[in-house]
Chain A
Amino acid sequence: MADESETKITFRRGAPVKPEKIKGLFTGLALTLRTMLSKNQVVQYPHEKEVPVPRARGVIGLNEDNCTACMLCARECPDWCIYIEGHKEKRPPRREGGKPRTVQILNRFDIDYGLCMYCGICVEVCPFDALHWSPEYEYSELKVANLLHDKERLGHWETTKPAQPGYEKGSEMKGAKK
C-alpha cells in the first residue's frame, strides 16, 4: 500500500454535454454507411470454422494407459461428474522370484458433459498426466444421456490434443525459450 505522498491521485471530470443537435445525427449516419460499405468479418459457422486457440477448454481427452484409477480427478471435481471404476489384478513379478505386482485396471471412466463446468481441475490434479484438454467443441447431442462420454470416446478426444505454442518471453515455465 502506498503512502499518501506517493499516490498520484488523478481525476477526470466529465466534460459538459455538448448539445450537438443535428451534427451528431449526421456523423452517426456517416458511420453506419461506412460500416455498410466496409468488408464483413462474419464467419458463417457450419461452412467455415474458426480455429479455436490451442489452450481452449473444449473437451477432455483421456490417455487410458496413463490412468491408474486413483480417483483424484473424481474427488477434486467440483460437481462430481467423473465416474471411475477399477479393479486390482495380480501380475507376474518383474524379476524372477519377486513378489507378484498389483496393478489397477480401469473398467470405467465416464465424464458427464451435461454436468461438467469445464474448470479443468481434473486435468490439473492428475498426477500421471492422463487427462488433457482438447479444443474440439462439436459434440452436442439430442439426448442429454449421450453427453456421458465413456473411455473410448474420451480416448478419441485425446488424439485431437493440439501442440502448445510455447510461452511469452520472460517466462520461466518448463519448455519456455530462454
Chain B
Amino acid sequence: MEKDWLDHGITILVVILIFTVQMLITTFLVLFERKFVAWMQVRIGPNRAGPWGLFQTVADALKLMVKEIFVPRGADRTIYMLAPFLTVFPAFMAFAILPIGPSFEFVHGDKTHVVAIQGANLNVGILWLLAMSSVAVYGVMLAGWASGSKYSLLGSVRASAQVISYEAALSLSILPVLLWTGTLDLQEIVAAQSGWNWYAFGLLLIPFVSFFISGMAETNRLPFDLVEAESELVAGFHTEYGGARFMFFFLAEYINIMTISAVAVTLFLGGWNGPWVPVQADPAGWQVALGVLYFFLKTFVLLFLFIWIRATLPRMRYDQLMSFGWKILIPVNLVFLMVLAGLVVMQEVGAWPAGFFR
C-alpha cells in the first residue's frame, strides 16, 4: 500500500502526541515519586505550587532553565555541554517504538488508513530499544569525564561498568519473550498476549523479575544507585552540572524509568491488552482509548513499584552489585533460556503439549 500525505501527516501527529504525553507524564512522575516517597517517609511532599503541589515540577523546571550556564574550570567545555543531550536523546528515542494502544483504521475517500499509536513501528523494535539504552551510557560517561571532578569521574566509571554489565542481564531476560513469540516486532508481541495471555503470569515470570531488577540497575534506581550515591560520591556524574543541563540528566533518568516500565508492560504484562479491547478486529474509538488507558495504568503500577522499592531499600556496594549481576542474574537467565529453548523445540516436535504453560 502506497503511503500518501495523510499517512505521513498521521505519523507526525502521533509522534508529536506521544512526545507531549511523554513529557507530561514524566513531569507528573517526578511529582508522584516525590509525593509517594514523602508519604512513606512520614512527610507530606511538595504542596505549595498549585493544588497538591501539582505544578511543582513545572516550577522546578522553570527555575532550572533560567539559571546561569556554568562550566567549571578544568572541564572539557564541548563535551561538558554536549553530554546531557547525549543522555536525553536516546531516552526519548527508546520510547518511540512502544505500541501504546491498539491500531485502528479509518476510511478517507476510497483509501483505508491504518493508525498505529506508536512512534515508529520497527520490525526490529526490541533491538532499537537495546541500542538506545546502550547509547545513553555515553552521555553519562562523557559527563563524568568532562566535568574534571574526581567524584564525577568515579561516578561515571561506576555508571558505565554497571550499565554495561546489566545490559547483558537485560537483554538475556528479553530473549525468552522473543523466543516464545518468534518475533522482534512489538506489535506482534503484544498481540500474542491477548486474552489474558500475559507472559508475566506464566513460565516467563522469571525473566520478568530479572528484567525488572536489571531495569532498576540500568536506570540507576535505588538499590543500585551507586552512580549518584549521595553519601559517597556527592552526586556522581552530575556533581558539576547545574541549571538546564542538570535538568536534562534528571529528565533522562525519569524518562528511562518510564521506558523500562513501559517495556516491561509491553513484553510481559500484555501491553494495551485488557478486557473489552480486541486485538485483531477493527476496534471502536472507545476501545482504543481504553487500550491506551490500560497501557498507562499498568505502567503506573510498575512505576509505583519502582518508587516503593526506592523508599525502602538501602544501596548495594559496587562489588556486590557486580557479583549479583554476573553471578546470579546472568546465569539464571542463561539457564532459563536454555530450558525454554528446549521446551520450544519439544513443542515443535510434539513432545510437549502445545497449550501447556501457554
Contact = CB atoms under 8 A, between A and B. Distances in A.
Q: Do chains A and B touch in the complex (CB under 8 A)?
A: yes
A33 interface: yes
Contacts of B235: none
A33 to B, nearest CB: 7
Contact of B39 (A31, A35, A44): A35
A56 interface: no
Contacts of B309: 29
A40 B44 contact: yes
Interface in B304-347: 308-309, 311-313
Interface in B38-64: 39-44, 47
Interface residues of A, number: 12
B36 interface: yes
B313 A25 contact: yes
Nearest to B39: A36
Interface string A121-162: 000000000000000000000000000000000000000000
A51 interface: no
Contacts of A25: 312-313
Contact of A32 (B43, B44, B47, B308): B308
A28 interface: yes
Given A25-B313, A29-B312, A42 B43 contact: yes
A15 to B, nearest CB: 21
A32 B312 contact: yes
A145 to B, nearest CB: 31
A41 interface: yes
A35 B311 CA distance: 11
A44 B44 contact: yes
A69 to B, nearest CB: 48
Contacts of B36: 36
Given A29-B309, A29-B312, A36 B44 contact: no
Which of B40, B41, B47, B309 gathers the greatest number of chain A CB atoms within 10 Å?
B40
A42 B40 contact: no
Interface of B: 36, 39-44, 47, 308-309, 311-313
Q: Which 8 residue pairs of A and B lie closest in terms of their CB atoms, listed nearest first?
A: A32-B40, A36-B39, A28-B312, A36-B40, A32-B312, A42-B44, A32-B311, A29-B312
